[in-house]
């Protein structure tokens, strides 16, 4: 990995963590809309976003007071989603699919964390997954797709993979 990629990854991670913590009241909980999840489309443009998003999520979860299971598995969910988004790009799949891994992976993994760790006996997995998935869809499609369109137009100047 080049110095440029390391710097890009670090900046993406810092931005993810800063956005998550700045919007903390809506970034954590059953119905979470992490504005920072809009950045999950970035692996569609650069491989530097994959480790950047993972580290950013890890830092945000640690600083936000998440339990250890969430710090580990929530961050790994972001890593898996970023890897899948990058894979979608390499396979030439539609840009409309770029936010999908973050929505589905987080709905399943974070939904399970909500049902089993944060709210056992209070909410079922399906309800938790639906809430997390809805919040992810708002963040990833509602904020991420406009970002994707802007980066499609100007991102070549920022990211050259």
What average pLDDT does the segment 44-71 reach?
A: 97
Domain span including residue 130:
3-157
Torsion angles phi and psi, residue 66, rounded to 5: -70, 155
pTM over 0.85: yes
Asked whether 27 and 20 are in contact (CB, 8 A), the reply is yes
What CATH number did the domain enclosing 49 receive? 1.10.1760
C-alpha neighbours within 13 Å on the C-beta side of residue 59: 19
Tokens of 17: 């963590």
Give the number of C-alpha atoms closer than 13 A to the C-alpha of residue 3, restricted to the C-beta side: 0
Residue 161's SS3 state is coil
Count of structural domains within the chain:
1
What's the pLDDT tens digit per position in 9-40? Answer: 999 999 999 999 999 999 999 999 999 999 99
């Amino acid at each position: 990995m080049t110095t440029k990629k390391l710097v890009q990854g670090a900046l993406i991670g810092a931005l993810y963590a800063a956005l998550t913590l700045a919007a903390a009241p809506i970034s954590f909980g059953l119905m979470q809309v992490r504005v920072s999840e809009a950045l999950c489309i970035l692996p569609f443009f650069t491989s530097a976003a994959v480790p950047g998003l993972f580290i950013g999520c890890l830092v945000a979860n640690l600083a936000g007071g998440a339990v250890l299971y969430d710090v580990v598995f929530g961050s790994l969910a972001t890593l898996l989603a970023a890897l899948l988004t990058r894979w979608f790009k390499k396979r030439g799949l539609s840009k409309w699919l770029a936010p999908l891994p973050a929505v589905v992976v987080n709905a399943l993994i974070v939904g399970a964390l909500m049902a089993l760790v944060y709210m056992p006996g209070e909410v079922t997995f399906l309800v938790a997954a639906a809430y997390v998935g809805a919040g992810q869809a708002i963040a990833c499609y509602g904020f991420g797709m406009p970002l994707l369109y802007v980066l499609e137009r100007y991102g070549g100047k920022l990211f050259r993979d």
